[in-house]
Copies of this chain bind each other. A is one copy, B any other.
Amino acid sequence: MAPSVTVYEVGPRDGLQNEAASVPTAEKLALVRALADAGVRRIEATSFVSPRWIPQLADAGELVRALPRLPGVSFVVLVPNAKGLERLSECLDVAGERRADVEAAVVISASEQHNRKNLNRTVEETLRELEGLVPAARAAGLRVRGYVSTVFGCPYEGRIAPERPAAIAAQLVALGCAQVSLGDTIGVATPGDTRRVLERILEDVPADRLALHMHDTHGTALANVLVGLEAGIDTFDASIGGLGGCPYAPGASGNLATEDLVYMLHGMGYETGIDLGKLVAAGALAQRIVGRRLPGKTLQAELAKGA
């Protein structure tokens, strides 16, 4: 049997939140359906962040209530704080029953400066908040994913000592996070970094609790995924078409494109459950929705072949 890898799709949340224009809820739902139709089984749908900060996701409540129920598909929703968790919870009770196909995700940075700019508090303050938030989400019946940002480098502090993300990831697991996603938020990692940082983190957290969230800002995302596979990681984050860009350098690439990840995984004999042709169709839909050419290379190659 071929080894299996989980492709975790972040486009509808992490991708669309970085798009200049807000996308109508119906189009977000069409994208979510297209991704699920292609076989993607975990889709990060939106975030209950304040619309003051990210107006693109102001429709989070409406979107969550309208998420389709699809066998085998789970949706993940970012909850930055207790208020966000409350808003999410309200959307999950339908006709007296709590839907079980939605998970929560929480965020923290490995670097002090990025955490302050992103969350307006220190890493220590965020950890104390998560000490309440993660158990509360679990008590609400939700599986929780933890994100650690700037694991491999920070736009303000540069390189980060691997002890920091290792300690934070271990604390997230201790708090009850089912999975911790390690983010190369600015896409600076090269394979030597990834190997070194993963080795350190794996001393404290087992591989089956980790995911890698690599950005392709310098074209190294898939080389880093290769290192992650060799280290035993089996979940990788990606964004359809490479949707989202890099908030720290407008015009640069951000998220790894889902089609490129799936192309490489299939080429290496990994099972993902995804139909690459249908995934390319979802990428074409994403392009139509945002009205621009997306950076995904496999997407462009497949569309060029079809043209």
Contacts and interface: CB of A to CB of B under 8 A. Distances in A.
Interface of A: 187-193, 216-223, 225-227, 246, 249-253, 257, 260, 263-264, 266-269, 295-298, 300-301, 303-305, 307
Nearest to A301: B252
Given A191-B226, A223-B223, 13 more contacts: A188-B267, A190-B264, A191-B268, A218-B301, A219-B257, A219-B260, A219-B263, A220-B264, A222-B222, A222-B223, A250-B307, A251-B300, A251-B307
A217 B249 CA distance: 24
Contacts of A252: 297, 300-301, 304-305
Q: How many copies does the complex hold?
A: 2
A253 B295 CA distance: 10
A296 B223 CA distance: 16
B220 A301 contact: no
A249 B304 contact: yes
Closest 4 CB pairs of A and B: A190-B267, A219-B260, A251-B304, A252-B301
Contacts of A187: 301
Contacts of A223: 222-223, 225-226, 264
11 contacts: A192-B268, A216-B297, A218-B264, A218-B297, A218-B298, A219-B219, A219-B222, A219-B296, A252-B297, A253-B297, A253-B300
